[in-house]
Chains A and B, each alone.
Chain A
Amino acid sequence: MLRGLLILFISACFLFSCSKKAELNPSPTSLITEGNAFATSSRILNQVYGLYSTFKQTGLYGSEYPVYSDIRAGDFISTNLNPNIGALTYQCVVESGSPEVNLIWQQAYQLINGCNVFLAGMEKSGRAVVGDSLTANYEAEVRGLRAIAYYSMLQLYAQPYTKDNGASPGLPLRLTANAGLANYSLKRSSVADVYARILTDLDSAEIGLPLKYSTALINTTRLHKNSVIAFKTRVDLTMGKYDKVIAEASKIVSSSAPYTAVASGGVANALESDITVVFKSPYTSLESVFSVPFSSNDIPGVPLASYYLPVLADATGLGTVGQGQYYLYAGGIVADAQWTATDKRRGFLFTTPSGGSTGRQWLTKYKVGTPFTDNCPVIRYSEVLLNLSEALLRLNGDASIPTAKNLLGAVRHRSDASYVIAAATTPDLLSAILEERHIEFLGEGLRNTDLMRLGLDIPAKSPAGSISVAAVPATAGNYIWPLPNAELLYNPGL
């Protein structure tokens, strides 16, 4: 018996010491591996959506990019100067180690590399799965996202193109798929080179993108032909290429009111008659050219509304609460006398009626309480009209005053029908347009770019009884953000 047991024992040992290939090379059950990610058409489509989901991470259009662009630009006051909630940006004292400087850069490049990896994967195996036509659509869409990411970063980390025609250092231009450990040393391309790439991407996106999708929801939340055209008007305006703004805008703006994009053959983007509709569920108005959606299953990291909505004690009568991180600077745009009390957009402001913060004004454009699922706007049709209006004036001067005024009027009058645009000269009208943009896009992250592209100083913020933040001249070092530590330390090519 002993011998039998012994034999059994030894054979058991041998049996189990055979190499276990499968056990040693497991496939994860909750992750898709590299080799399979392009295996089916639905996976490829999911990957496209995956890049949008990267696009709406906290640091980008989840909230931080628009919020941080606004809180430095003079209209908001930090409630409690918390450096983890943008106080350093607010005070214009960010440095390479500041959390936001690292996060926005990091997440933008996560998106950019995600796009690059997708493009490479499509060429390698995806094209064979979905065919040339869908490949062209997807690749165009992804190039569009990559362009928006590069554009957004330039607004924070680089000098404006208009300062020196883009001669200043821009961003490391990453266009190839990165994976694993490799030499990623790369110098910064000039601002001009980065803009050139942005426009190349947007142009090719315009060619490859479909005119429209099957539902209004998809038309507002994915890029289509008109949305990249609209975005190009922003890029060109930022660069001061007014002729190009006009050329792009003309594709999607009818020559006379009511201004629409019907003639483009794509999504019939147009102004919504009531601006408040744009910021309400289902967020699928034709004005919303591109915005990113959230749902209660897919909530934003640090949501827009939680920054701007007041806390309970300050929100008596509002019906919704946030974390009250930033309130409106009484000396900012809210003080503008031209922004009349009857203007519908004043409805986006809430004044604390009682308690210690009586009289404080809060932005309520994003009004959904917890879990704060307001869409985050990227570009609206009203901006295209104002971009066009400004470009016409800057390019043609007085000759374009009537058209420019009409375009401006289209935006102003839908919110304040009785307002009379008094400006009669080009400079007056230009400042009226700038003022209109300031009112119209409050809390949408455009103000910082408007200041920078025009070489304006960042205005001072002097809240009553609290610490002032001095103005930042366009020449000052802190006019733009530094590169983050994570780049400075590990990219010897800079």
Chain B
Amino acid sequence: MTDEMKTALRLIIWLLLFTGSLSVPAELSAEMPEKKISIKGENLSLRDIFRIIEKQSDYQFFYNSKLIEQLKPVTLNVLNAKVEQVMDLCCKDQPVHYRIVDKIIILEETKKQELAAPEPAVLSVMAMTVGGKVVNKDGEPMEGVTVTDKTSRAVTRTVKDGTFSISASPGDVLQFTSVGYEMVEVRVKAKPETIKVSMVEAVKTLDETVVIAYGTTTARANTGSVSRVKGTDIAATPVQSFDAGLAGRATGVNITATSGVVNQAPVFRIRGTNSLSLSSYPLIVIDGVPAYTDDVNVGGNAMNNPLSAINPNDIESIDIAKDAAATSLYGSRAANGVVFVTTKKGRPGKAKLTYNGSVAYSKAVRAAPVLNGDQYLEIKNEGLVNAGTYDAVKNYYGNSIGPDGKIIRTNWFDYLFRTGLFHTNSVSVSGANETTKYYASLGYTGQNGILKGNDYNRKSVLFNFEHKVGSWLIVGNRTNYANDLTDSKLSTGQGATNTAANSVAYRMALISAPIIGPYNKDGSYNYTGLNLGLQDNQGHLTSTARMGYTNPVITLKYNQDNTGNNFIQSNSFLSLIPLKRLVLKTAYGIDNIYSRTERYFDPRSDEGYTANGSATGISAKREKWVWTNTANYSFDVKEHHFDLLAGEEQQKFTGDQFGLVRSGQTDPAYVNIQGGFSSVAITSTQDQVFYQYLESAFSRFQYDFDQKYQFSASLRRDQSSLLGKNNKSGLFWGFSGGWEVSKENFWEKSGLSKTVNFLKLKGSYGKVGNLSGITDFQTLSTYAAALYGGVAALAYSASGNADLKWETSKKTDVGLLLGFWDNRLSAELSLYKNDIDGLIFAVPVPSSAGIPGASPNTVLSNVGKMYNKGIEIGLNGEVIRGKVFNWQAGLNVSFNKNEITALTATVKQLLISSIGGAADQFSISQVGHPVGMIFAIRTAGVDVQTGRRIFLDQSGRKVLYTQVAAAGRYNWEYTDGTQAAAITAANDGVPYKRTNPKLYGGFTTRLRYKQFDLDLLMTFQAGGYMYYGTQGTLMDARFSNNSTKILHRWQKPGDVTDVPRLMDGDFTSWGYSMPVTSNVYSSNYLRMKNVTVGYNFSPLVLSHLQISGIRAYAGVQNLFILTPYPGADPEVTSAGNGTVTQGFDRNMNPNARIVSMGLQVNF
């Protein structure tokens, strides 16, 4: 093997196996115990010496073999020498020099002019000039790093290419500091050397920039309660939108990933549920422009989360403002908290090209186990026998023969679920010089969900730039364009259809009988009317007309149902600095969504059967602009720092939505709205016109004394078109203060400061409002166009409330920030209380009042009071602080208590039935209790003697139910056999359990060993309950397939079980149409939400490829969950982001386990 080949091989091995790429910068490696070299010999060739060194140490060599042959042999006699000492001897008086990078010794030819000056014979303690270079972990030069000689106090800064030079004496310690990075200290060695320093980003968050309303501050100086999540934490997880990736990352933030449906907005709560009838979704502000949130429904099955317009890879940071101090400048929209999203901007340094790509596979986990064909036959026939209707000739469940001539055994999950695939690719270019910063990115994301026919893709382009003209003018623009398309051929139970509808995908998988299939014997599709037919059971089964609802194979093959959006978000600003500390800024932003829903339902499919084939087209236009003008003046008087902000803002939202449904397909070739259909209707297209206008003036005063005492006050006046004509405006304000105790002399002098190096107290109080969820023109009394057999009509459609005003929240927050042992451990403790007054809710009036509206017989009014109070604890620490091995761990726990303290004089409770369209899901909100409790009829197991379900009536007396009563007996009986009144929810239901958890949080841990890192995120919640409505379906004794739990049914006297005796037709024992407590379970869980292992390739290896960094990672999302909840997932909801209707699970899709791999390459 030639040397060239060996060299090449080495290089390849290094690249492939990373053997040479241990991440210890050479100058720091002395800290580690190192093998010493011993060599004795005369006229040794360098090649031999290097071999010996390789054997005795873990160093490897990299050299040109032609070069080495030209070098003189060397005589050595060294014992326990450092490798550098040996190398120095080898290179002495030779035309070569060496570099050591990451245990690789590189031998390079010294050009004539570079030949080093002869070494001084005597090591001097005199000051000398020390030079070097500072890079970040990606190997990029860092500008502006402060270099301090701790001995002489000399200071300098690195220049653009990251280099510096400073006068220092051997033995001095150079300290390298930069905001946001860990401090690095290097001892100057005896001889001049090039010091190479690699800085890593700081974990301690105290000095990080924090985004606040209309500005920024640092966590240290911030007096409000703000949690920060880094964009990189989100970008590495396979989510379409950043909000879904926030779970468990910050205190006070509760994200419920709803179900394994693509592009579905999660349930997003900051410090509990803060409203009854309005939205509890926080205000999301993206680079200063409030965004659309939750599901933008354009009338199809597809979920449509507008926040997925932002590619998570483009996000720098997410700051979550929780208390009044942090949010009050957003006034009327701040009651649910404000989330500031900051997109990436160029950073000083050379242009940086970054590629991010990942691919992920997902699979549904914990789907309900259902009966196989044989079990199904056993169970269903037993039901017929027990009901007295079994007949071995005329009435029984039997087998069918499929197209393959075999007995049909169908696992319907196979037809509905699949292995999902998620892939995302984005490329960005960014950079900055003294005057211009820029960031541009392209992204493409595609996803096939775990449900068939449920797909998503997004193309996005972002461009961010900022340009400085002299010292007095800055202009900038951010423009994001994204185009996405979400397909949902099958209903997922949200969007256009309710969760109880027959055609919900998960429901089909659960209830379709395993003894029939999607195809008949002759290969034709099995359907009768809307539904799956009986196949060979026809003729001998009279108790049902169907064995399932939709035939999903037809729907998936022929139907179309998608929603696409074009998002255009653009924000331009101009900052004038007419005086030194005065900044005038005007910013104009637009946020537009142009959406289109297209549906086609084949006449053979469940969805298109009744209409004989239909096509739907719905278009929606949402256009919003925000114009903000601010003046900011800050000045110092000695240690007093003042910062004043005044501004005004206008925001307008206009648009419309309209569509058509065409039915009666005239030829199978027509599959879109433009095709041939016999009729046209405008139902289900949600035709509407949008209009909202908000006008505001605001100001803020911030004061800081010596970074020890801070005070701030803010005031905002909002006027909104949404509110009643008598109450258009509202005034909101907040105060906050902070005291950094650890800056006080007494603290610094006390021994305590050695342990507690940072201590800050802060508190705030303020009043904010909520109006999100009030729809346009809702305060007006209006008449809407209608038809009477085609004749124009005008119908009283809404009874408004001219007095409707803001819901107000008075927020109190007290916080404590602690840093221990040089911030090795930081702790954050917050106590908060949010008193909501003038709570808006849709006050129910008697149904006979006949008040019209979108939800009839309710009047949105400011009545009622509620509070949320709680404690948030955040701990972050470096368990092991080391350059080679670093272990950080974080824990955040939030405890929240919610209680309604007043409703109205007439309304003592708010009972909401048919949640998600399911007759058995009831929620109740009452004074003295938390919002949205489960309302249900108590059950007490199964009667051991007769196998009947035991219900408890209002008085607690046992009532036994049987579907078919024997002669002389009753369907509803007391235990003594006398007839009982039928149990009903209205008479016998009780407020049963709370749905919102008492505590929730996350545990993060991040291990870094050399170039490897491991990131774990666990999330948990406790104290809440969920109504498992799916169980009513799974235990239905009609034709539908059952959970394997039904195998434990009562069969003979003495059987102790919670599954009643089977009886055909029984849909009462498990509460299919009424709520029962036997379907209520704790929703406690501990979930391994995310495990990611990453590897950062050595910069040196990559420099040959002109790559400055590669990070490869692989992860698993939702690896496991520990929960007593028997349903697919305790984190699903039938009611979207509904406020009082959380905690109900009817036919909700399981969540997915996702395995992902990704690569980030920096050029």
Contacts and interface: CB of A to CB of B under 8 A. Distances in A.
B1065 interface: yes
A311 B604 CA distance: 12
B793 A52 contact: yes
Interface stretch (A105-113, A272-280, A383-391): A105-113
Contact of A110 (B529, B546, B850): B850
Given A12-B629, A33-B781, A53-B787, A485 B913 contact: yes
A179 B682 CA distance: 28
Nearest to B917: A84
Interface in B761-784: 776-777, 780-784
B984 A96 contact: yes
A306 B801 CA distance: 39
B906 A490 contact: yes
B848 A491 contact: yes
Interface string A178-204: 111111111000000000000000000
B391 A110 contact: no
Contact of B391 (A54, A186, A465): A465
B788 A20 contact: no
B789 A292 contact: yes
A9 B847 contact: no
B1011 interface: no
Contact of B530 (A51, A179, A323, A371): A323
A2 B472 contact: yes
Nearest to B794: A46
Interface stretch (A66-74, A295-303, A335-343, A451-459): A295-303
A32 B650 CA distance: 27
Contact of B845 (A28, A299, A312, A490): A490
B681 A26 contact: no
B678 to A, nearest CB: 8
A371 B681 contact: yes
A23 B846 contact: no
Contact of B783 (A19, A50, A465, A491): A50
B1038 A28 contact: no
A25 interface: yes
Contacts of B913: 97, 102, 485
B627 to A, nearest CB: 7
Interface stretch (B57-65, B100-108, B163-171, B536-544): B536-544
B242 to A, nearest CB: 32
A293 B629 CA distance: 57
Given A51-B795, A299-B681, A9 B528 contact: no
A3 B582 CA distance: 13
Given A466-B542, A466-B543, A31 B777 contact: yes
Contacts of A12: 586, 629
Given A23-B693, A53-B793, A467-B1064, A174 B848 contact: yes
A380 B797 CA distance: 31
B1065 A17 contact: no
A194 B776 CA distance: 39
Contact of B843 (A33, A49, A181, A297): A181
A486 B847 contact: yes
B788 A49 contact: yes
Interface string A221-235: 100000000000000
A450 interface: no
Contact of A117 (B664, B794, B796): B796
B985 A489 contact: no
A47 B784 CA distance: 10
A185 B849 CA distance: 9
A24 B720 contact: yes
A17 B695 CA distance: 8
B652 A491 contact: no
A386 to B, nearest CB: 27
B573 to A, nearest CB: 13
Interface residues of B, number: 117
A486 B783 contact: no
Given A180-B800, A297-B681, A465-B395, A31 B788 contact: no
A114 B852 contact: yes
A297 B1074 CA distance: 36
Interface string B507-528: 0000000000000000000001
A106 B856 contact: yes
A356 B851 CA distance: 47
A6 interface: yes
B801 A49 contact: no
B986 A488 contact: yes
Interface string B633-651: 0000000000000001010
B795 A109 contact: no
A416 interface: no
Contacts of B783: 31-34, 37, 47, 50
B1134 to A, nearest CB: 15
A484 interface: yes
A81 interface: yes
B1064 A9 contact: no
A351 B162 CA distance: 90
A449 to B, nearest CB: 21
B610 A298 contact: no
A17 B697 contact: yes
Interface string B690-726: 0101010100000000000000000000011100010
Contacts of A30: 687-689, 784-785
Contact of A83 (B612, B801, B919): B919
Contacts of A294: 789
Interface of B: 387, 389, 391, 394-395, 472, 500, 528-531, 533-534, 537-539, 541-546, 576, 578, 584, 586, 609-612, 627, 629, 631, 648, 650, 652, 663-664, 678-683, 687-689, 691, 693, 695, 697, 719-721, 725, 728, 776-777, 780-801, 843-852, 856-857, 859, 861, 906-907, 909, 911, 913-914, 919, 922, 963-964, 981-982, 984-987, 1038, 1064-1065, 1067, 1072-1074
Interchain residue pairs A-B with the least CB separation, the first 5: A311-B529, A113-B850, A293-B789, A356-B538, A465-B542
11 contacts: A25-B725, A31-B780, A31-B798, A32-B783, A49-B788, A113-B852, A466-B543, A466-B1065, A467-B543, A486-B857, A489-B909
Given A102-B847, A490-B847, 13 more contacts: A25-B721, A29-B689, A34-B800, A99-B919, A102-B913, A174-B850, A185-B846, A293-B788, A298-B789, A311-B529, A313-B533, A356-B534, A357-B538
